[in-house]
Structure 1
Amino acid sequence: EYILPFVCIYFSLFLSKPNSSNVVKYDSLQIYNLTHLAKLLRCHQSSSSKTRTHTRRKTRSIPLGLSLNLHMVVPSCLCLSQQPGQSKCLTKQLAFRNCKRHMKRGCIRRPQILPCANEEALGSRVFVLSDLHTDYSENMTWVKGLSTVRHKKDVLLVAGDVAETHKNFVLTMSLLKDRFEQVFYVPGNHDLWCRCEEDDYLDSLEKLKKLLDACRGLGVLSNPMIIDGLGIIPLFSWYHESFDREKDITGIRIRSLEMACKDFHACKWPGELSNHDTSLALYFDAMNDKNEDMIKEIQKKCSKIISFSHFLPRQELCPEKRMLFYPNLPKIIGSDWLEARIRSIHRIEGSASACHVFGHTHFCWDAVLDGIRYVQAPLAYPRERKRRMNGGEDWLPFCIYSDGKFADRLSPCYWSDYYSANPRAPHITQLAPWVARFYGRPSSHAPH
């Protein structure tokens, strides 16, 4: 009774092509076809109401939304809800819903990402994970809860943002190294924050050095290596504002980067480096030069290569600005030099054996662009996991490689799934309905 509506939702949104009279058009966003969706749900409800007791007065919510970051994209979910005392016909309401309500008995279960790892794998398995943020006690508990037996022969790639404090960073990496045979790490922006009184650093570069020293002491790697014929290449990176080349959103009041991004205050840089230009992106990219000889050896010997970074190499790996609660987000997420280095590793045309793992934006992502597979598997903040439509964190860390081959697609990843079916249209600046509502503007009067 409760699974069928979700199946109807999925097929109506991603597979069917309803006629124009049923489509509520917002550019090409058939995902917000509420009229068509409500019709399907009403039909199912009327057919099942004969066998269902009418005494139940609970609120029912059908989650339609995406797994998203509150600060970056949309509300916890878009939902059609039936309130007590209302007609049985579902009313079209966009609302915030506590994720726990969706998981109560009698509500639709969220689709789960099924484990893809073969426990009997002959060779090494490679797992990926980013944005652990173990300064949150819930996240540290999650790390401590990882099996101390299952992964003794496995490899883990940690794509940055482990913890802000040195104490939590070392504890987290120690726990991971105890559970995995090999752990690789690249730094994220949160790792380099210098605002904790107990951590006294001259600047973020000194902190980076101490973090890498701690990793070496634990046996955690930040250099390229070949493991069972698979090339693994960590890449240092930092973002720069000119990475964003898509049309800006105008007509609404958007906070400046300095006000919105804590990096501008929590990170400390020597005088020649700044978040306001490309100097940091160039500095971190140059840190990879020392590994060029090993990278060339990997290219010669390995038919399959996984590179990984914290930041994004391509803007297409982030939703369009009109979809974002903070439309200037693309200015603080990626690096052109990172993309150039990835192309030098995986070749311009890419291949089925090329994969790059990233983090930072907290969006589950799995997509192929120009021959390279891009994957993000973030643990993220506790509040974000609770809103996820793909089952929270049970599928993490994600096994990207097993038995000598790459795993099937990470699914469901709602944003990358959306862009696999819909063209990117950055020239359109009309705000998505949830963004327009966030800024207190009717979507019909959103700027163009």
Structure 2
Amino acid sequence: MPARRPGGARLMAGRLYAISDLHVGYAENRAFVESLRPDSPSDWLIVAGDVSERVSDIEWTLGLLADRYETVVWVPGNHELWTTPKDPVTLRGEERYRHLVDVCRRLGVLTPEDPYPLWRGEGGPVLIVPLFVLYDYSFRAPGTSTKEESLAVAYEAGVVCTDERFLHPDPYPTRDAWCRARIEETERRLAAKEDGVRTVLVNHYPLVREPTRILRYPEFAQWCGTELTADWHLKYDAAAVIYGHLHIPRVTHHDGVRFEEVSVGYPREWRSWDGPRGPRPVFPGESE
């Protein structure tokens, strides 16, 4: 039952919400973020990547949200990891990621480098697990069997992710090598999880390939995840999996686990949906 304020007014219990792909470099998206307010001061918000390409925009956005929500949990998307001529912060690869982690810690925002927080509200208790795992080109283009073949097909079709220009893997030799290193580190941490504790797995990319099969351009899937996480929702007792990146907001179920893509997307996309979609509850009620 909801708590009551002095005098009898009811207090709404906090809920766990998620959103991604805010892309605040667009004025319309920035205005949308400025309008966001929690329903309760006890609400938590998961931000599943692609806030912006500029560090200053990322800091502004996460700082604003951290002032409004009780707890904010962030994972990086590919756009945060870009090093572009428009950003005065010229750090690349791992150094850029670590810099963003430091920014988050100054703001009180949780990251994949922090202890996993336990959500005890509606749907809990569950361990919130922010992930930073990249992609390794294993979601290959149809008819190909190697990374090289898959990339060649994408280049021939003219469907090439901008990561190939701006997402640098330094000090790793390749993005897939960085992905493998992140997988190993994350599995080491998750192996220490207490048995029987359910999780909410949060990653910018889908952890299974199935959500990418509706992409208009199937060649793009190779920049959308890795086969190495295909069983994580089972292996790590997921009550839900949150992701973004695809700009196709929807809910699917895999092995009985709820997967939700929670992106806002670009203005040209959300205009066709009659406005940007706000944070979605990770544990929706029967009427939602």
Which residues in structure 2 correspond to 1:390-429 (within 5 Å)? 391-393=274-276, 395-401=277-283, 406-408=284-286
Q: Identity of paired residues, percent?
A: 27
Aligned residues of 1:125 and 1:154 also touching (Cα < 8 A): yes
Kindly indicate whether residue 166 of structure 2 is the aligned counterpart of residue 266 of structure 1. yes
> In structure 2, what residue type is equivalent to 1:243?
F
Aligned residues of 1:151 and 1:179 also touching (Cα < 8 A): no
Return closer, same or farther for 1:354/1:227 CA change in 2, 3 Å cut-off. closer
Q: Which residue of structure 2 aligns with residue 191 of structure 1?
A: 80
Q: Which residue of structure 2 aligns with residue 201 of structure 1?
A: 90
Q: Which residue of structure 2 aligns with residue 328 of structure 1?
A: 219
Q: Which residue of structure 2 aligns with residue 317 of structure 1?
A: 211
**2:282 and 2:63 mapped to 1: Cα distance?**
22
Aligned residues of 2:55 and 2:89 also touching (Cα < 8 A): no
Q: Deviations over 1:223-274 (max 9, x none)?
A: 41112123211111111212337546xxxx8645886211011112225331
> In structure 1, what residue type is equivalent to 2:133?
S
The structure number with the bigger radius of gyration is 1
Q: TM-score by structure 2 length?
A: 0.82
Aligned residues of 2:142 and 2:219 also touching (Cα < 8 A): no
**2:42 and 2:133 mapped to 1: Cα distance?**
29
**2:130 and 2:157 mapped to 1: Cα distance?**
28
Q: Which residue of structure 2 aligns with residue 282 of structure 1?
A: 180
Q: Which residue of structure 2 aligns with residue 102 of structure 1?
A: none
Aligned residues of 2:133 and 2:203 also touching (Cα < 8 A): yes
Kindly indicate whether residue 259 of structure 2 is the aligned counterpart of residue 374 of structure 1. yes
Q: Deviations over 1:75-134 (max 9, x none)?
A: xxxxxxxxxxxxxxxxxxxxxxxxxxxxxxxxxxxxxxxxxxxxx686430001011111
**2:171 and 2:28 mapped to 1: Cα distance?**
37
Match of 2:268 among 383, 388, 408: 383
> In structure 2, what residue type is equivalent to 1:345?
Y
Match of 1:233 among 114, 125, 129: 129
Aligned residues of 2:134 and 2:226 also touching (Cα < 8 A): yes
**Secondary structure of 1:242 counterpart:** coil
| Number of matched pairs | 265
**1:330 and 1:409 mapped to 2: Cα distance?**
33
Which residues in structure 2 correspond to 1:41-190 (within 5 Å)? 123-147=13-37, 150-190=39-79
Aligned residues of 2:203 and 2:243 also touching (Cα < 8 A): yes
**1:372 and 1:399 mapped to 2: Cα distance?**
15
Q: TM-score by structure 1 length?
A: 0.54
Name stretches of at least 5 consecutive residues in structure 2 with no aligned partner: 1-9, 145-152
Which residues in structure 2 correspond to 1:20-31 (within 5 Å)? none
Alignment RMSD, CA only? Answer: 2.7
Aligned residues of 1:354 and 1:371 also touching (Cα < 8 A): no
**1:247 and 1:375 mapped to 2: Cα distance?**
28
> In structure 2, what residue type is equivalent to 1:244?
R
Q: Which residue of structure 2 aligns with residue 360 of structure 1?
A: 245
Q: Deviations over 1:193-225 (max 9, x none)?
A: 001354333422111001011111111112411
> In structure 2, what residue type is equivalent to 1:137?
A
Name stretches of at least 5 consecutive residues in structure 1 with no aligned partner: 1-119, 347-352, 411-448
Aligned residues of 1:258 and 1:264 also touching (Cα < 8 A): no
> In structure 1, what residue type is equivalent to 2:182?
F
